[in-house]
Structure 1
């Protein structure tokens, strides 16, 4: 991680934009092209170039995430092409910044969709959901979103990488119970964004709370709510013993900072998009390192694995002025999975959208070296049920250390995500 959030107020805007976009949808080619050597090709391939799309947020609420994801993917494409590309085809990345704006996101998808084979990045679950019907019904191009809502499951073309927010939150609360003393009868707070991200995470916390005999005290917020004073006051008054945060980095730094300043010494755990290492340089840095944790779909950028170390070295060489964070891992993982699907599709001499989709479905044990194996064979299921629990630490690469290795709690293993 999002990483993702959605205000219900944007729903009408999304719907209107989607109607307008649908009115201007392009006519599809009547058939696939037969290229040199019997290779089948279609949208997104011209000559010996494969074009992929990236719909990102470089200037909105997830600008830090968007920049890291995009640069990691540009690095992957550069290295892929330097190694010969895919069956002699060079890969090109076409990027659009939607600024986490619903109209811009739908318009950017509409613009790029006829020109690309698929999307290696699409930040924002509400925006992906807004075009899901088009993707499934007529476009049928592979989309690997930087979004983890269970509402995106069930599509053979939109493939969430890693555990969905409900599963991730179940694992987060399990950590609080196993490691932080939360027990049956306790209250836990849950501060969450309205919309897909937060409400899917809330489904997870309520599920494990029911299983474990906990009570969830809800605090719903908007993406524009940056001061968490009211939420901390309410949760302190309610007597919660821990807090789950399903929001963004701005809310994390406020929540943790206000809690520390008011003497509210309880563990706080966020979903994967609720942290950025830049927060460690703020006044709340010490409190973050003491009481804050993050549930992640993979090991962090500073993981002690050969592939992680190589990615760090390569990224530093390519972007020496930029900080390291887990957006790099998310971007690299998605690009690698798409690249692997391209290679398998090429081997089958079918680089059409259908061929690439089919190739991804054949990846049932994919691991790029960040501790979690992904199974893409079932579109109705998350590719993983595991989470890694991280803790902010400014002394380590990327600002996050592992406090619990990848694993799925018993509740997560038995849980069926709602789609």
Structure 2
């Protein structure tokens, strides 16, 4: 690892240690004792509990609209508000209306965990929780005492194994295996080549790195690693290090800003190699920046689903409904992610209603009975095995400002042979 990367690693280790200490203090606190779940039975025979008051089911959303994933958080949240509005207009669930309570944590660990602590006693579950490290920080609470269903906008393999935290789509390690497989099959990587991997410190980056290391060993590649922090926005040092190392392609497991800087700096320095990012490493707003031309030429994204601009009836309807609700806002894949999570939670609520059990435990069990969840975005999800991701497939996308949402499909949904046989390590 280069000197610049080593400095980043050392600083990042200290920063992560401090953040983790704060998280542990916060996650050990709870504003409500759990000796009384508040379970009761309504006149219609439906059991209810925490998160249901009167005829209202309250769901929580812990998002990021001021930090590194601000554009993603905004579109995810607005898509979920739209889903809730349409669900209520159709009669709600069991005659209950659904309400969404939102908190912005700005991708700050203390705000994320304190936001969870604040909302947990008041909600049935969380239809959104952005940030793998933050979800992981409260995982023991969720599994042990809270037992609230959480559908995070996070894909770390460390979240597997919980019946209450259900990642929708392939985890970062599997997604990265599919991404590197694309580079091998479509971009000419061969045995003996080096690939770069620029990744965030913490659960997200480490999970993705496990995937690139795994396929590199199988394919005879070498991985040149560059660890960064979410606050690192200039990738000049990383590009210089990877260029000196002679890498033939780069994987980026970071945010949209870091991906744009990486691709833009590489293009400006004549470093003409393909770059592929994980699903959260792109925002269409980047196409209007100086990095736009380089992104459309050399950048790809591995996604758990088809993009918002997909040519399916469901995608077209979602685009029309979203544009009607938010006419001034940009279309992006955060809309798909938010709508998918809200739809999955909605399906679980409906199944729990049929079983006459709208308690947290009842909704958790209901989701675990859904073995084919498909809302028309290219991949079907199976939620029945908490120890496995709900899908192993990825769609490979490429930026294109001429397409709604700024992404076109260059490889349809599928799982590489390595992804199908790989076992994630929680």
Shorter-chain TM-score: what band? over 0.9
1:11: Cα distance to partner? Answer: 4.3
Q: Paired residue for 2:97?
A: 90
**Residue pairs, 1:372-383, within 5 angstroms:** 372-383=379-390
In structure 1, distance between residues paired with 2:217 and 2:312: 37
Q: Which of the numbers 209, 217, 242 marks the counterpart of 2:249?
A: 242
Q: Report whether the alignment pairs 1:417 with 2:424.
A: yes
- Structure 1 unmatched ranges of 5 or more: 1-5
Question: For residue 340 of structure 2, what is the aligned residue in structure 1?
Answer: 333
1:8–1:195: 8 Å Cα contact kept in structure 2? Answer: no
Which among 237, 243, 252 is matched to residue 259 of structure 2? Answer: 252
SS at match of 1:38: coil
Cα deviation for residue 12 of structure 1 reads 3.4
Change (3 A) 1:105 1:232: same
**Is contact 1:192–1:246 with CA below 8 Å preserved after alignment?**
yes
Q: Is the 8 A contact 1:260 1:287 kept in 2?
A: yes
Out of 40, 43, 58, the residue aligned to residue 51 of structure 1 is 58
2:317 is matched with: 310
Match of 1:13? 19
> Which of 33, 38, 47 is 1:40 aligned to?
47
- Which residue matches 1:405? 412
Cross-structure match for 1:103: 110
Q: What TM-score do the two structures reach when normalised by structure 2?
A: 0.95
- Structure 1 pair 172/17, CA: closer, same or farther in 2 (3 Å)? closer
- Secondary structure at the aligned position of 2:164 is classed as coil
Query: Structure 1 length normalisation: TM-score?
Result: 0.97
How big is each residue's C-alpha offset from its partner over 1:55-74, in whole Å with a ceiling of 9 and x where there is no partner?
A: 00111111101000000000
Name the SS for the 2:107 alignment partner: coil
**1:300 pairs with 301, 307, 312, which one?**
307
Q: 1:79 to 1:410 in 2, by over 3 A?
A: same
Deviation by residue 1:169-200 (Cα, 9 ceiling, x = unmatched): 00000000111111111111111111111111
Candidates 167, 170, 176, aligned match of 1:160: 167
Q: Distance in 2 between matches of 1:229 and 1:17?
A: 31
Q: Distance in 2 between matches of 1:257 and 1:23?
A: 44
- Displacement after TM superposition at 1:25 (Å): 3.4
Q: How many residue pairs were aligned? A: 414
Unaligned runs of 5+ in 2: 1-11
CA RMSD across the alignment: 1.2
Range that drifts further, 301-310 or 6-15: 6-15
